[in-house]
Amino acid sequence: MIAELETYQDQLLSIRQDASGLLSGFSDHQFNWRPAPNRWSMGECFDHLNLTAARLFLPAIDAAIDGARRQGLTSPGPFAYPALQRMFLKISEPPPKVRFKAPSAIKQQAARPMAVVRQEFMERQDRLAEQILRADGLDLRRARHRSPLPIWKWSLGTFFAVALAHERRHIWQARQVCNEREFPTS
């Protein structure tokens, strides 16, 4: 397997373990508690990750993989990515240095049970793991697809890296919620 993809597999495993630990032992009330009207609950953080993966990242990664296979874009790496993509990756990591307003299409609309959101999250993680395996052997730099910000195209490697950084960012955010002094005890 391409070394970069092995790194993504390791990151994904770490995210799964971190999320599993964070999403255990809380009630639905705690999971959906908001520290302030303008701040997200843990549930909103994880639902946002689910919606972003399902609507933006996973379909774009599939399209980049399929396009690269059709074009015969293969390489063992290593890969160097454009500066703009590296910069976007850097600002996607936690803690947030730059904040973005999430479009309503990728924001939770109503409180949901933690078990349902957790199950969806783990299913998205399984799908991302499958995509990492499917990308093996492809040129992660030349395989590209339109980014969620339709201004430019991202490389497949950037899609993986940003998707994982985005997950770390919102898991970090969810952890901040349960560390609030006013966080409900039960």
State yes or no: pLDDT of 149 exceeds 80.
Answer: no
Confidence bin at 90 (pLDDT 50/70/90): very high
Which residue matches tokens 């898991």?
Answer: 171
Other CB atoms within 10 A of residue 47 CB:
25
Mean pLDDT, the chain, rounded, equals 92
Look at the alpha carbons of 96, 101, 107, 112 in this order and tell me if their dihedral is positive or negative: positive
Q: pTM for the whole thing?
A: 0.93
Give residue limits of the domains in the chain.
3-178
Phi, psi at residue 77, to the nearest 5°? 85, -175
Q: Which residue has the higher pLDDT, 88 or 72?
A: 72
Q: Give pLDDT, residue 103.
A: 62
Q: Give pLDDT, residue 102.
A: 72
Phi, psi at residue 48, to the nearest 5°? -60, -45
22, 174 Cβ separation under 8 angstroms: yes
DSSP string, 10-35: HHHHHHHHHHHHHTSS--HHHHT--S
CATH code given to domain 3-178: 1.20.120.450
Instruction: Tell me the mean pLDDT in the region 35-51.
Output: 94
Q: Which residue has the higher pLDDT, 87 or 186?
A: 87
Q: Give pLDDT, residue 7.
A: 97
State yes or no: pLDDT of 76 exceeds 90.
Answer: yes
